[in-house]
Structure 1
């Protein structure tokens, strides 16, 4: 599975694109600190079920170049449209994780006619959510920059990542590290975390209820960053018709930790379109 490359607004964007182009498109959006490789064990199952799977390195992550402007939540949502139009994807199914969820849910609310279904994993848009410890540090000016300096050390990043993401492969970890290499690259993450605010969250928490498409919510039972209770809050507060599935003995990065369990639930989701 090899990344392809395109240019959007004179910036290099790398992405995975597997399956026949005439098949229904599935767009997969990663979170932080990730790249499109978070999906590498999920994409074959999607393609094998008759779909085209497309997963970008979001700007500033993996190998994709960052925006010239601040890397805000709103800017990433705008990028989804730019990327989708560049690849002529048309109507699509959306699969999202972590910050890819906030970005994708935002985009889906504003482009409801373009989304056929959605799978949301370990991502909340609840105004009851409290930022986890590292996120709080990143959101604090000055403090976040100092934390990023420490995380730019490859050995420290590797140690922390292996603890947070059991079973991560070296190639995937190196791809995730790209956003932390320098103060300039890490600014993408700081911009993104600092752009999240309760007013915006509340707007989209309410707008999600307008989505009448099939939606599956998949969560790791032991997620330390977005606790399992937010899977049920997402259903209760915004998507009452969603199907919730909890994977036992799994954490936040379920696509890497327990890909077989994730694939089983992903295929169950897509079977309804047969």
Structure 2
């Protein structure tokens, strides 16, 4: 289902899952932590059937994307945004629907602020905003990464697959996440393979909510239609915190709330989620 393409962007390799007819208008999907572009496969399949060419890149530090240029800023939210904008302009991608989740939403905020004319609309789902992050489950990993111990801890087996699966599974309300799906979307070597863990560590070290705090006040200047589609049983980015921040930042945004659904709404309730996106 779908295909993976790679793009050389500024000396780096961007890996992108793509689905649909390339003649259709483009929708770009941005994942969050600790997922990869694999998070979007089910949603992309349905959106593609509605007449969109769907593209989901692995963000720097995740999946199969490789940052080859020695620039630590490439792993920051701003650096990720600049890489993706460079890719879009290089490939002639315009009039894009930008769909984002979790820290991908922070990247999307920068992209919209920097190059609003590239986008026709934007959707944020359970996105970070302002100082709503890092969440308590991720904070210890960031601390380990800043001392360059995360990759060694992964190599030594500190991050047990069954424990991480249990932690992710507790966020689901409707669809239980099976181990094979968990491995593909969330685990995928970053918690066990030393080289992949080192890549993930570079991203963790760069996470800083100063980027979302800095951009929050500029979002009201973005003249692009915005949709907020929010899972209301989210323990990480609850509507009352990050959702309300974005609603205030985008005062004309439309809001769809999905009840009895957790943080990873793309797979917890894919039917309600894709229906809300396309409504």
Q: TM-score with structure 2 length normalisation?
A: 0.84
> Which string of whole-angstrom CA distances, capped at 9 and with x for unpartnered residues, describes residues 161-191 of structure 1?
3541442561562353233334553344444
RMSD: 2.5
Name the CA distance, whole Å, in 2 between partners of 1:265 and 1:150. Answer: 40
Is 1:156 the equivalent of 2:160? yes
Are 1:138 and 1:147, in contact at CA under 8 Å, matched by a contact in 2? yes
- Structure 2 residue 247 is the aligned partner of structure 1 residue 235: yes
Alpha-carbon distance change, 90 to 172 in structure 1, aligned in 2, over 3 angstroms: farther
* Partner of residue 55, structure 1: 56
Tell me if structure 1 keeps the 8 A contact 2:110–2:215.
yes
Q: d(CA) in 1 for partners of 2:17 and 2:120?
A: 21
1:4 maps to 2:8: no
Runs (5+) with no aligned partner, structure 1: 269-274
- Maintained 8 Å contact 1:138/1:144: no
State the shift of 1:232 in Å. 2.0
Question: Partners of 2:104 and 2:83 in 1: how far apart?
Answer: 12
Residues 133 and 143 (structure 1 numbering): CA distance in 2 closer, same or farther, change over 3 Å? farther
Q: Is 2:109 the counterpart of 1:105?
A: yes
Once the two structures are TM-superposed, the CA of residue 205 in structure 1 deviates from its matched residue by 0.4
List aligned pairs for 1:57-136, cutoff 5 A. 57-68=58-69, 69-70=71-72, 71-127=75-131, 129-136=132-139
CA deviations 1:30-89 (Å, max 9, x no partner) are: 111111111111012211111111111223311222343222222211111132134321
Go from structure 1 to structure 2 and tell me whether the alpha carbon gap of 1:100 and 1:130 turns closer, same or farther (over 3 Å shift): closer
Tell me, yes or no, if the aligned pair for 2:31 and 2:59 is still in contact at 8 Å.
yes
Cα distance in 2, alignment partners of residues 86 and 159 from structure 1: 41
Uncovered stretches (5+) of structure 2, i.e. residues with no partner: 170-175
Q: Does 1:170 align with 2:189?
A: no
Tell me the distance in 2 between the aligned counterparts of 1:134 and 1:151: 16
Distance verdict in 2 for CA 1:227–1:67, change over 3 Å: farther
1:213 counterpart SS class: coil
Q: Aligned residues, how many? A: 266
Q: 1:149 to 1:258 in 2, by over 3 A?
A: farther
Residue 83 of structure 2: SS of its match in structure 1?
Answer: helix
Partners of 1:151 and 1:26 lie apart in 2 by: 34
TM-score normalised per structure 1: 0.85
